Structure 1
Amino acid sequence: MVDERSAEERKIDEWLPVTSSRNAKWWYSTFHNVTAMVGAGVLSLPYAMSQLGWGPGVTVLVLSWIITLYTLWQMVEMHEMVPGKRFDRYHELGQHAFGEKLGLWIVVPQQLIVEVGVDIVYMVTGGRSLMKIHDLVCKVDCYNMKLSYFIMIFASVHFVLSHLPNLDSISAVSLAAAVMSLSYSTIGWAASVHKGVQPDVDYSFTAKTDLGVVFNFFSALGDVAFAYAGHNVVLEIQATIPSTPEKPSKGPMWKGVVVAYMVVAVCYFPVALIGYWVFGNSVEDNILISLEKPTWLIVMANLFVVIHVIGSYQIYAMPVFDMMETLLVKKLRFKPTFYLRAITRTIYVAFTMFVAIAIPFFGGLLGFFGGFAFAPTTYFLPCIMWLALYKPKRFSLSWIVNWICIILGLLLMILAPIGALRSIILRAKGYKFFH
């Protein structure tokens, strides 16, 4: 593999977080992918099931799992499709497929909406879980703290962790987060089984009108899309794996992805199906809220959620740091120093913290944004790139499969925001800024 970069470019690439270290093992890709994929979104899957119903719910979950595994395989394959070159970032692949300028405009805004949006939601989720722990543990003489303070406590961890230089350096945090996601998912469904099917369980739709049922269905599609958002960081994860012409990175990366997807199935399906089976349409939008007892177990589950979203926040923040630092160093000609990194990353963490405190109902808005950005980057943008770059023959199996994914993804992109917008309007009366 001939390196055509100048000494200065090489030096900058060795400094940037995505390309600085290429020593990752295949199992790094497993826990990075699990951490990126199995977010707090898994806890809202029983609620999504209650809006979708048994048949459509199971179909949507299984279809999403299959389609996103397929598009993830495409991205792993396309990482090194040009001999001697690696597409280390999602937008670099976009530029190769759609052209220098158009590729940037198609990919970067969507990627930023997903990554920054998820980080803000995780700020709120971390804060809420800390608050829940506080409320469960503290029974007498408690100081009644606002959610804002818990978000600040959660953010304080990131003011430290965000200064870790690259993806490899956060692998221990990511491993802990992946283990936690498996743990709290297991608590979610095991505690539901222990509680047993509720005596007054009802599997009918909560909405009283046909229109309400349809809109809630659309909104639930957005919740499922949010649960499969790991594609936005997959090329950046693959960039950390060493590669030679004899042993390209796609081998170990794909091995890691398959194991990660097995873990995803073990986390998602039991939580979604058992949670809905036990609580029916009365399930809360976070399964842990429906499970009040035993207290110690729910405290543990919330603690696991906090540790998990600490790792997840970092996985999604790293490509954003990479974009900011690339812009500052390559375009604006700043010197690649520790101070530059410290200032930009601190500003980013402070920004996500401030938005989380100002709009603690941001999760409700994410279904709306999520429909626009999660569906394309996860469900059908890889398929469009595949068609543009590999040009499979018309009506061949590859061509048909890609077009099915594109059509389903487009439907998701159009329908999910419609449902989410309605739920935002209905809930708007209860929204409190700076709560």
Structure 2
Amino acid sequence: MVSENENGNPESSFNVTRDGLNGNRETEKKEGKNYEDWLPITSSRNAKWWYAAFHNVTAMVGAGVLSLPNAVSHLGWGPGVLVLVLSWMITLYTLWQMVEMHEMIPGKRFDRYHELGQHAFGEKLGLWIVVPQQLIVEVGVDIVYMVTGGTSLKRFHELVCTGCKKIKLSYFIAIFGSVHFVLAQLPNFNSVAGISLAAAVMSLSYSTIAWGACVHEGQQPEVHYGIKSSSTADAVFNVFNALGNVAFAYAGHNVVLEIQATIPSKPERPSKVPMWRGVVVAYIIVAVCYFPVALVGYWAFGNGVEDNILKSIGKPKWLIATANMMVVIHVIGSYQIYAMPVFDMMETALVTKLNFTPGMRLRLIVRSLYVAATCFVGISIPFFGGLLGFFGGFAFAPTTYFLPCIMWLAIYKPRRFSFSWIANWVCIVLGVILMIVSSIGGLRTIIKEASTYKFYS
């Protein structure tokens, strides 16, 4: 269960202690500051509903939207549209559940995903279920965004400087990563609000450019809509990977409680009211971005579409170059949104377990090491399509599609065979299937691409 400290914050948010992740922390102060007032998630609670809107758009509309036409090409028209629509509906439902559960106990707030997991499954089990999954998601996304940012920078350079000497992708990923050594020092979610807003605007803009350019180029000569594969096994594995790509595209759940934690709450107006308003606006924007890009991109290029739709669009060059730079700006914001909960976990552990003094020096060292690590891994394994499928299945499917449903059933215990009971079990079954098959497909794609890849090329 979650108890509150003297500032009204859940005590379990400091469950990283000298005795491990699940200890009873004494409320200590160093240098006259309460740890909760210093940590990234709980240090500022003055966000508005529109903060939630563009934070959720930034968290969700990212690298995944560019891979959707390719995902549909492996699924086909009917199954592709069905998977897109079902994913939109299911993830909106599970996101609503998380917003509702944030303050299910009057006067208490579950500011972090693992705190909700502890309430649902118990102090120890909740941590072991949620924390590894959430870390895999957030660190995995940041690695993928390193690759996406570097790839888009490289594409921009090639489009605007056709006669220039070619530069390795590794260098562009390093250039993209260097920006985050500075931005990672911003203290909390609200301090990155401006970056997040710019990122949200960029996501809507480059999505519009992507499908608009597809319409401009029109249906390509000799376009084919059949399943592209060399064998039945290849077709099956490609479908598995495509499902992972779709799962990756709906990823905002992993930071939704942390975003909601930045919104003020009063008994007469709990945080779920403005948060839900922001989520609805965000999901409308998600639909405006995802469906046109996925369907128009597939219509234009058929099964020949690249894993990143911007690679398939050749003209006008200036517009595609602009779209690639918009992708760079967007994933800069997305990286920070997903990194903030990781910073919160690391800083909590170091301050409460290892007795480090909270302050600028600690943040500079810890966050810089994190940025360097994600950059290094991104440079080492830049397999864009495979990474999307693998992380989409292995990590996003549980935390997005069915873990909220399991927690809802554990906490609220709806009557058997009621609508809520049936809806949650349907989501759980579909989510587990998605997790298994897309993980297999994504891992196969990574192995396949790695067989011809030269490190640091």
Aligned residue number for residue 121 of structure 1: 144
What are the within-5 Å matches in structure 2 for residues 27-38 of structure 1? 27-38=50-61
> Could you say what secondary structure the match of 2:29 adopts?
helix
Q: Which residue of 2 aligns with 1:211?
A: 233
Find out whether 1:63 has 2:81 as its counterpart: no
Matched position secondary structure for 1:430 = coil
How much has 1:2 moved relative to structure 2?
7.8
Query: Which structure: greater helix fraction?
Result: 1
Q: Report what 1:248 is aligned to.
A: 270
Cα deviation for residue 7 of structure 1 reads 7.0
Q: Distance in 1 between matches of 2:444 and 2:178?
A: 35
Contact 1:18/1:240 (8 A) holds in 2: yes
Q: In terms of mean alpha carbon deviation, does 303-312 or 419-428 score higher?
A: 419-428
Q: Find the aligned partners of 1:181 and 1:215 in 2 and give their Cα distance.
A: 29
Kindly indicate whether residue 115 of structure 2 is the aligned counterpart of residue 99 of structure 1. no
Contact map agreement 1:39 1:309 (CA 8 A) in 2: yes
CA drift of 1:251 comes to 0.1
Distance 1:363 1:19 in 2: 35
Task: Provide the residue aligned with 2:158 in structure 1.
Answer: 135
The one-letter code matched in structure 2 to 1:278 is A
> 1 CA distance for matches of 2:45 and 2:447?
47
Q: 2:260 aligns with which of 232, 238, 242?
A: 238
How many residues were matched structurally? 434
The verdict on how the C-alpha distance between 1:323 and 1:7 changes in structure 2, with shifts beyond 3 A counting, is closer
SS in 1 for 2:34: helix
The match for 1:272 among 281, 289, 294 is: 294
Rounded Cα–Cα distance in structure 2 between residues aligned with 1:245 and 1:7? 28
What SS does structure 1 have at the residue aligned with 2:417? coil
Q: Does 1:111 align with 2:134?
A: yes
Distance (whole Å) between structure 2 residues aligned to residue 211 and residue 278 of structure 1: 26
Q: Give yes or no for the alignment of 1:155 onto 2:197.
A: no
Tell whether the 8 Å contact from 2:199 to 2:333 is kept in structure 1 after alignment: yes
CA drift of 1:41 comes to: 0.9
Equivalent residue for 1:350, pick from 372, 381, 385: 372
Aligned residue in 1 for 2:198: 176
* Structure 2 length-normalised TM: 0.93
- The aligned residue for residue 8 of structure 1 is 29
Partner of 2:17: none
Find 2:421's aligned residue among 389, 399, 403: 399
Distance 2:325 2:142 in 1: 18
Segment of structure 1 superposing worse, 315-324 or 424-433: 424-433
Give the drift of 1:367: 1.9
CA-CA distance at 1:201 after TM superposition: 1.0
Q: Give 1:332 deviation, angstroms.
A: 1.7
Alpha-carbon deviations, 1:2-55, whole Å to 9, x = none? 854657397110100000000000000000000000011101100000000001
- Name the residue aligned to 1:73: 96
1:336 equivalent in structure 2? 358
Tell me the TM-score normalised to structure 1 length. Answer: 0.97
2:4–2:108 CA contact under 8 A, matched in 1: no
Structure 1 runs not aligned, ≥5 long: none
**1:49 aligned residue:** 72
Q: Alpha carbons of 1:285 and 1:2: their partners in 2 closer, same or farther (altered >3 Å)?
A: closer
Does 207-216 or 250-259 show the bigger shift?
Answer: 207-216
Deviation at 1:148, TM superposition (A): 1.6
Contact 2:248 2:391 in 1 (8 A): no
Alignment match of 2:48 (pick from 5, 17, 25):
25
The amino acid across from 2:454 in the alignment is K
Tell me the distance in 2 between the aligned counterparts of 1:2 and 1:332.
23
Distance 1:246 1:99, change over 3 A: same
Quick one: distance in 2 between partners of 1:209 and 1:130? 35
> Which letter does structure 2 place at the counterpart of 1:144?
K
Name the amino acid aligned to 1:212.
D
Contact 2:383 2:449 in 1 (8 A): no
Report percent identity of matched pairs: 74
Kept in 2: contact 1:16–1:325 (CA 8 A): yes
- Alpha carbons 1:222, 1:412 under 8 Å: kept: yes
Say if 1:16 and 1:326, in contact at 8 Å, map to a contact too: yes
Residue 84 of structure 1 and its aligned partner are, at CA, apart by 1.3
C-alpha distance in structure 2 between counterparts of 1:363 and 1:50, whole Å: 13
Stretch deviating more after TM superposition (330-339 or 72-81): 330-339
Aligned partner of 2:11 in structure 1 is none
Q: Give secondary structure in 2 for the equivalent of 1:336.
A: coil
Moved over 6 A (4+): none
- Shift of residue 364, structure 1, vs aligned partner: 1.9
- Assess if the C-alpha contact under 8 Å between 1:32 and 1:175 holds in 2: yes
Q: State whether structure 2 residue 399 is matched by structure 1 residue 377.
A: yes
